[in-house]
Amino acid sequence: MASTVPVPVISSAHLGLSISGGNRHECISSSSLTSMSPSPQHLLTAFGGIIAIPLILSQGLCLQHDGLTQGHLISTIFFVSGVCTLLQVTFGIRLPIVQGGTFAFLAPSMAMLSMPEWTCPAWTQNASLVNTTSPEYIDVWQSRMRELQGSIMVGSLFQVLVGFSGLIGFFMRFIGPLTIAPTISLIGLSLYDSAGMSAGNHWGISTMTTALIILFSQYLRHIPVPFPTYNKTKKLHTSRIYIFQLLPVLLGITLSWLICYIFTISNVLPSDPEKYGYLARTDLKGDVISQAPWFRFPYPGQWGLPTVSLAGLIGILAGVLSSMIESVGDYHACARLSGAPPPPKHAINRGIGIEGIGCLLAGAWGTGNGTTSYSENVGALGITKVGSRMVIVAGGVLMIIMGLFCKIGAIFTTIPTPVIGGMFLVMFGVISAAGVSNLQYADMNSSRNVFIFGFSMFSGLVIPNWIFKNPDAIATGVVELDQLLQVLLTTSMFIGGFFGFFLDNTIPGTLRERGIMDWNKIPLDDSSNTLESSEVYNLPFGISSYLSSFSWVRYVPFLPPNAPSSQDEAMVDSLATKQQPVKPEVIRSVAL
């Protein structure tokens, strides 16, 4: 086995199943990138993160008691995630990686929505006073959504610029583990209030959900379950699938949901809205499914013309930068697990640029969020051994179809609130820990590094908490500046990331001590295999071959500098028709 060095995988601002970013080592292999093995697991692993984002945003958008609109938001984010997945796999990084919503945008979004001018009116907190069809109520939530849309759309242009201009490589010179660790960790820690509010509606149900997810993901993950399968070679036979390792969150939610249903029909849960445990009932939003149309086509501007503010834009930019750096790590991990050579610079630039376009689409369509690469999907590659590009394409098409059928989104809104809270307890906890895991590259025996990380983390908790309790403390006399400072100083990930970045780049320290040397190392195995690299990363439909005849292509950061000759392409085609065994690679993976 050729020697390798770990690829930096900053994980996850979004979590549904598994996260890359730990120190557990496993040897795995995957199927050929060009194989056609169908597998729905990649889509299922993204469910937890995708449905969680609209449910969290609904609190800031004043939609707690509007299940129908929540269903529309879930359908919209499914639709946009499917479109962005197709764009990324076809024209972006061209690796089998799923695109979906990002938790990195949630912190600045919730900070903006907590500003005095965007605080939800008191009457929207009372279900009996909310008329979801009244023009007044519609304007309340749509005005907030339009403000989010505009900030996301303008902020995404920065990501498009950074990606297609090749600036991401420049940024990576200054951003290391001591910047990323507090940034990612504070994404999870800043959401503790949402988790507590949801779980606190019935701690018994939420604890059961958490316990089931832990049981499936940690204790039963290595236990295979036999399933009947069929293929042309073996006909009908039994396959052993690690279902608990693949779908712990989905299984935990489903089982808890079923138990809540049994408790509802047997009247174990109270029917009085004033009593504890009422929100654990499954019949509270039953009319949402009947009210939701069977088919609805999401379209840009469906909530009105987007607006933008400087405060919201600057906050979103912090999330954009965090999401970009995370995706670079996911690209390298995905390449290793799918048996592809390390992604060249032009592919990484193109991938980041396409993600920026995806965020632009998400903002235009009105998901209230952006898109990013899903590290849950990267972890699923190691479990399913299916690294096929076409599998992800099929998953993207399926997400688009799910987004068109509103009944599906409406079903997800009926999940009892305590069940969602139990899922949040696990998801946000793992996100926080995944951020800390990036410190494995830095020398944590160094008092310098301990100070930088500790100070950044503590500041990211203290400053936003104080500003929330003293909202009138910021009074510069300029309204726009007050709003900007309010959003930035209440965004934990910005505070922690800023201090980590500033201190790490100003306090003297060696590159090895800071973790920059290990952080920027890339596996060299097969990196010189230009034929295989061209097959994987060059643009499809003969675009790369056509453009290679122009001399100016070499100066475009997101285009391959040259394409193989027709004879070389024939050799690549011949190579692609064979199942190439993948060398076992030592990777980092934490299965949730």
DSSP-assigned states of every residue in 356-413: HHHHHHHHHHT-SS--EE-HHHHHHHHHH----HHHHHHHHHHHHHHHH-HHHHHHHH
Collect all residues with Cβ–Cβ distance below 8 Å to 146 and sequence separation of at least 6.
303, 304, 305, 306, 307, 366
Considering 455, 489, 519, which residue would you say is the last residue of a domain? 519
31 domain-assigned: no
Whole-number pLDDT of residue 430: 85
Do residue 515 and residue 572 come from a single domain? no
Structural domain boundaries enclosing 300: 38-519
Structural domain count, the chain: 2
Q: What pLDDT, on a 0 to 100 scale, did the predictor assign at position 586?
A: 34
SS3 per-residue string spanning 68-137: HHHHHHHHHHHHHHHHHHHHHHHHCCCCCCCEECCHHHHHHHHHHHCCHHHCCCHHHHCHHHCCCCCHHH
Is residue 239 in some structural domain?
A: yes
- Specify if 514 maps to a domain: yes
pLDDT of residue 504: 94
> Do residue 467 and residue 561 come from a single domain?
no
Whether the Cβ atoms of residue 563 and residue 545 lie closer than 8 Å to each other: yes
Is residue 439 located within the same domain as residue 561? no
pLDDT along the chain (592 residues), means of 10: 38 37 36 45 72 89 88 94 94 90 88 86 82 88 93 94 90 87 89 88 94 91 83 79 82 93 91 87 84 91 90 88 84 78 87 95 94 75 66 89 91 90 88 87 93 95 91 83 87 92 94 83 44 73 80 84 51 43 38 36
pLDDT for 561: 76
pLDDT at 31: 44
Please check whether residues 545 and 515 belong to one and the same domain: no
- On whether both 559 and 410 belong to a single domain, the answer is no
Residues 462 and 550 in one domain: no
Residues 42 and 172 placed together within one structural domain of the fold: yes
- Identify whether 232 is part of a domain: yes
pTM over 0.95: no
- In this structure, the answer to whether residues 332 and 367 fall within a common structural domain is yes
pLDDT of residue 266: 92
**Structure confidence at residue 118 (pLDDT):** 86
CA 320/CA 159 separation, integer angstroms:
7
Report the distance separating Cα 103 and Cα 100, nearest Å: 10
pLDDT given at position 303: 92
- Residue 578 and residue 515 share a domain: no
Q: 121 in a domain, yes or no?
A: yes
Residue 453 covered by a domain: yes
* Integer angstrom CA distances of residue 292 from 5, 332, 414: 51, 41, 12
| Residue 356 and residue 455 in one domain | yes
Q: Judge whether 3 lies within some domain.
A: no
- The answer to whether position 107 is within a domain reads yes
Same domain, 229 and 377: yes
Residues 6+ apart with CB under 8 A from 487: 108, 111, 112, 115, 311, 312, 314, 315
549 and 502: one domain?
no
Amino acid at 199: A
